[in-house]
Homo-oligomer: A and B are copies of this chain.
Amino acid sequence: MKHVKNIVIIGAGNVGTRLACALNDAGCNIVQIAGRRSIAVETLAKTLDTDFTLSLAKIIKGQDLYILALPDNAMEEVLGELDLTDELLVHTSGSVPMEILIPFSENVGVFYPLQTFTRNREIDLKVVPFLVEANRIDTEDSLVGLGKMLSANVNVADSEKRLQMHVAAVFASNFSNHMYDIAREIMQDNGFDFDLLVPLITETAAKAVEMGPDNSQTGPALRKDMEIIAKHLELLKNKPAARELYDRISKNIIDQTH
């Protein structure tokens, strides 16, 4: 198993930035930041006091690890411009199979942090689960070792399992945030401060985490209170998208619990 020391980060978005900083803090040597968005790339390179390039052709060869931290739909194009042979190449995506990297290096893997990343927001990676995969067992060991430098929670998962977990993550994070956002809109339409919902949001998440969401459900749909549900649907008549979701999610909860 090879110890990973010298790393090139390709992509200076939310994930690339957090990983580069955390790996640097953990004692790795971030050799270069590569990417196209000049401000993000230069800012990150300056933060880490390292080299950068806006041209993929100028990526330094022969390093221990190349981390592609790109949106899924940008990966293919960037891969086509890389010129690696047997350098270890990984991506950080939940839903892209490892196999797409194989044409571009003999030594590939995935290094996926199961978390939501937002610009200008610190994340404590130590508690973030990392899902790791590799096409060679020694590479898998290297990536697990690297993961353990950042997090107490490193798991090996193949592309199929990782994709399933990504779908779960979309519900747990992206979709729960959309529910908050509909709530925010209703509050705003009525001249209320969103902050009134903060204790509720915090308690709902804490309760689900501590007791499991299957033991935490409350509300009109759980009680099958069709009168209140009808009243709420009536109130949402001018917001058809929210109304449709209210109706469907309520039916789901009723079907599951009655």
A interface residues (Cβ-Cβ under 8 A, vs B): 14, 71-73, 95, 114-118, 121, 123, 127-129, 153, 155, 161, 163-184, 186-187, 189-190, 192, 194, 196-205, 207-209, 211-223, 225, 227-228, 231-232, 235-236, 241-242, 244-246, 248-249, 252-253, 255-256
Contact = CB atoms under 8 A, between A and B. Distances in A.
A241 B218 contact: no
Contacts of A194: 212
A122 to B, nearest CB: 10
Contact of A168 (B155, B170, B183, B215): B183
Given A172-B183, A204-B172, A71 B223 contact: yes
B181 A179 contact: no
A218 B242 CA distance: 19
Contacts of A249: 175, 178, 245
Q: Chain A contact residues: over half helix, strand or loop, or mixed? A: helix
A95 B220 contact: yes
Contacts of A212: 184, 194
A115 B203 contact: yes
Given A115-B203, A200-B115, A180 B171 contact: yes
A15 to B, nearest CB: 10
Nearest to A233: B167
A77 B136 CA distance: 69
A253 B155 contact: no
Given A201-B176, A227-B72, A170 B246 contact: yes
A168 B181 contact: no
Given A187-B165, A208-B201, A231-B95, A217 B178 contact: yes
A208 B177 contact: yes
A68 to B, nearest CB: 16
A118 B172 contact: no
Contacts of A208: 177, 180-181, 201
A23 B225 CA distance: 28
5 contacts: A71-B225, A118-B211, A171-B180, A202-B205, A245-B248
Contacts of A73: 223, 225, 227-228
A249 B167 CA distance: 13
B172 A114 contact: no
